[in-house]
Structure 1
Amino acid sequence: MSVENSPEDFIPEYYEIADVLVAEDSMSVSAAEVHGLLCGYLTAGADFTQERWMFAALEMMDVSSLKHESSRIALVDLYEGVLSQMNNPDFTFRLLLPDDDLSLNERVTALGSWCQGFLVGFGLNGAHTDSSLTDDQLEALRDLEQISWVELDQDEDDEENENGLMELQEYVRMATLMFFSESHPVENSGDTDPEQPVLH
């Protein structure tokens, strides 16, 4: 008996999307920002097809077309994998961010870039106004905007900064799931609902 793989099994890693950007000579955007853009589009509630994703990705990468078929496959896998993660009732969604082998400062910068991408995608794909969003959504958007400008606190030691970064990453992850669940009630009709953590 064979087990069918889900799109989550093929979702690219951070370095794979970074390699795509290098291969396509798109150095003005980061892999984290590309993933954030996709998540912002998907959570805004409007119909966002694979074709629209490819158009948005090329626009963000500032290229008219892709040079390599492997780049197209990676971007398609990213779209399908993230959508599958968000629809998974076990909340398997995770942020596409660099591993711990990069410096703390680089990882903090990547999280800020992710949030910038998310805000762009959410703003462009949705027809939202302040009156169409819940208080929790408005607060989360304000928080994401603040996190997009986050910087390393040089007065704290590395352990404190590491813990702070982990807390911010988890807040962003859960806020993203909250946006998706509220804009896709049919796909997320289970009894569980991701609880939005409090940002300190």
Structure 2
Amino acid sequence: MNNNIFQEYAQAEQLLEQHDVMASPAELHGILCGLLCGGVAATGKQWLTEFNALVNDGLPMPAAVRGWLEQLFLATQAALNQQSGLELLLPDEDCPLDERLQSISEWVQAFLAGFAVMQQELNRASEELQEMIGDFSNITQLDDEFEEDEENETSYFVLYEHVKLGTMLAFEEFGNVLPQAEPSPTLH
């Protein structure tokens, strides 16, 4: 796999199929993002315990899949902490629109599951985030029967950006941002 883990959907699909993991890369990434945005510990392996409970009945993933997930977790965590650069792990734009819509719907549904495991206090969320969570719930109900045309491609792009924005907002409000390094005291 290359350095940009977010552009490796097809390779991730193959890895999951080889190891009989019955979830898509979109779903797994959605869960990771949901856990991170819900406040899972930024260090340690709490995320892996929570993840396995959601995906694999609490059982550990095969070693190769776990290694890939650890890379994906770290890359996602870094992107969220940088407040930019987050990409959703979805099929690329060469895939049919209905397939991409199905994947974004799966991603959002998985995000909501991961987020809910970590964050039961949505009443503390800003009105904007509560509205975004409502939007996410609506996205899970998307009809994936769309014509392949420019208008629907544009709508998909807007939807993708909206999901990224909602994810970043959730992370800002509830995620565990990695602490910044303390500046060294200046010696005179």
Which TM-score bucket, shorter chain as reference? 0.7 to 0.9
Please give the alpha-carbon distance, in whole angstroms, between the structure 1 residues aligned to 2:171 and 2:159.
18
Please give the alpha-carbon distance, in whole angstroms, between the structure 2 residues aligned to 1:152 and 1:168.
13
Contact 1:32 1:113 in 2 (8 A): yes
Name the structure 2 match of 1:144. 136
Instruction: Report 1 or 2 for greater relative contact order, CA contacts < 8 Å, sequence distance ≥ 6.
Output: 2
- Percent identity between the two aligned chains: 30
The answer to whether 1:14 aligns with 2:9 is yes
Name the structure 2 match of 1:113. 106
Q: Report deviation, 1:19.
A: 2.3
Q: Report deviation, 1:45.
A: 2.5
Name the structure 2 match of 1:183. 174
Length, aligned pairs only: 177
Query: 1:82–1:106: structure 2 CA closer, same or farther, 3 Å change rule?
Result: same
TM-score under structure 2 normalisation?
A: 0.82
Contact 1:10 1:77 in 2 (8 A): no
1:150 alignment partner, SS class: coil
Contact 1:18 1:31 in 2 (8 A): yes
Q: Report deviation, 1:185.
A: 8.2
Q: Report deviation, 1:101.
A: 2.3
Please give the alpha-carbon distance, in whole angstroms, between the structure 2 residues aligned to 1:84 and 1:157.
34
**Structure 1 unaligned blocks of 5 or more:** 1-8, 190-200
**Structure 2 unaligned blocks of 5 or more:** 181-188
- RMSD of aligned residue pairs (Cα, Å): 2.5
Name the structure 2 match of 1:161. 152
Name the structure 2 match of 1:66. 61
Please give the alpha-carbon distance, in whole angstroms, between the structure 1 residues aligned to 2:128 and 2:179.
18
Please give the alpha-carbon distance, in whole angstroms, between the structure 2 residues aligned to 1:118 and 1:102.
22
Which range moved further: 179-188 or 132-141? Answer: 179-188
TM-score under structure 1 normalisation?
A: 0.78
What amino acid is the match of 1:32? A
